[in-house]
Amino acid sequence: QYNASRPSPRYVRAAQWFWEKASAEQVYDASWLTYCLLKYGTPQASSAGLPMDLVRYYPKNQIWRVRKGDLSASVFGGVTRLMTLTYGEVELRSIKISQTYFGVGHFIAETMTSDGNSVTLHSSGVQKLHKPGYELPLGRPVDPDTWDDTFRERDIYAIPPAESALTITAVENGFDFHFRTLDGLDQVPVQIALDFPLEGYWETADTALQTQPGQVIFLKQGQGELRLGDDTIRIGPGADGHRYYAMRHAEPVPADSVRILMTFITPVDHRFSLRLFSGLG
């Protein structure tokens, strides 16, 4: 019992600070935090070095990790944020794919399969009960105050779900992507959004500009480059299916980011790549 509560002097001040700052509502959580600081503190650093070249899939966590020198990337299942990446000063905060589709058009991978240097994310498009689809009329007047209560009585006109797949392959100096819609209605707007932090310059074959807060840039065709300091990410080829910079049901661009958009109309079968380099490339 004495050993379980014996403090480590290295963390006494940190525990004291948390306890002093805790409000009355936070005392319960703070008590456990201060106990852990006093008892265990921070684990000692491992003497083993981190591998500099790996491609690894963690199926229980639905995370696919890639590290090749200065390039570090993670791909996620179960969330709208499909990928993050860092390379020197370049940071890709997220890749998100969405359709304007009955409020359930987000690409969220329920399953992931890894094969060597590739991973395939599959989104069934089934995210809510009775969606996508329409609740049909009951054939009688319904008071607006009881509208929600009548849903269980209504028949559903089902719409094919926005099923789709994304394959990501780790290659030298970057990644190759293949996005395909597998089911759903035709003539539906789709976007692939890549969000980056501010700073840096965006350049294509015929334009160059400094990025701005909350900015949305359409990559209509060919290649585009975002340069931060001495490091660059090259994206493309782009696509010009529509010009909805704030597409309905898509997550908005964060105020502290710039968004590069590739846009489509279903059906979609598009390949693109990310390449990273330092210097002039």
pLDDT in tens, 109-156: 999 999 989 999 999 999 877 778 778 888 888 888 888 888 788 888
The residues spanned by each domain of the chain are 2-39, 53-126+161-278
How many degrees, rounded to 5, is the angle at CA 52 between CA 51 and CA 55? 80
Strand, helix or coil for residue 165: strand
Going from the C-alpha of 90 to that of each of 122, 174, 197, 238, the distances in angstroms are 27, 12, 9, 20
What's the rounded Cα separation, in Å, for the pair 84 and 64? Answer: 11
Beta-carbon contacts of 245 under 8 Å, excluding residues fewer than 6 positions away, are 216, 218, 261
Whether pLDDT at 92 is above 70: yes
**pLDDT at position 24:** 62
Range of lowest pLDDT (20-24, 32-36, 43-47, 92-96): 43-47
Of 2 and 165, the one with more pLDDT: 165
Longest dimension (CA), the chain: 74
Could you identify the residue written with the tokens 């049909």?
A: 136
User: Per-residue pLDDT tens for 197-228?
Assistant: 988 899 999 999 999 999 999 999 999 999 99
Question: Could you give the CA distance from residue 206 to residue 135 in angstroms, rounded to a whole number?
Answer: 49
Query: How far is 195 from 90, CA to CA, in rounded Å?
Result: 11
User: Any idea which residue has 């969405």 for tokens?
Assistant: 98
> To which residue do tokens 């330092």 refer?
278
Q: State whether CATH 2.70.98.10 applies to domain 53-126+161-278.
A: yes
Measured CA to CA, the distance from residue 30 to residue 237 in angstroms comes to: 51
Measured in Å, how far apart are the chain's first and last C-alpha atoms? 62
Q: What CA–CA distance (Å, rounded) separates 238 from 220?
A: 5
Q: Is 62 left (phi over 0), alpha (psi -120 to 50) or beta?
A: left
Sorting pLDDT into bands at 50, 70 and 90, what band is 2? very low
> Which residue is it, tokens 């290649």?
223
Which of the two residues, 32 and 44, has the higher pLDDT score?
A: 32
Size of the chain in residues: 281
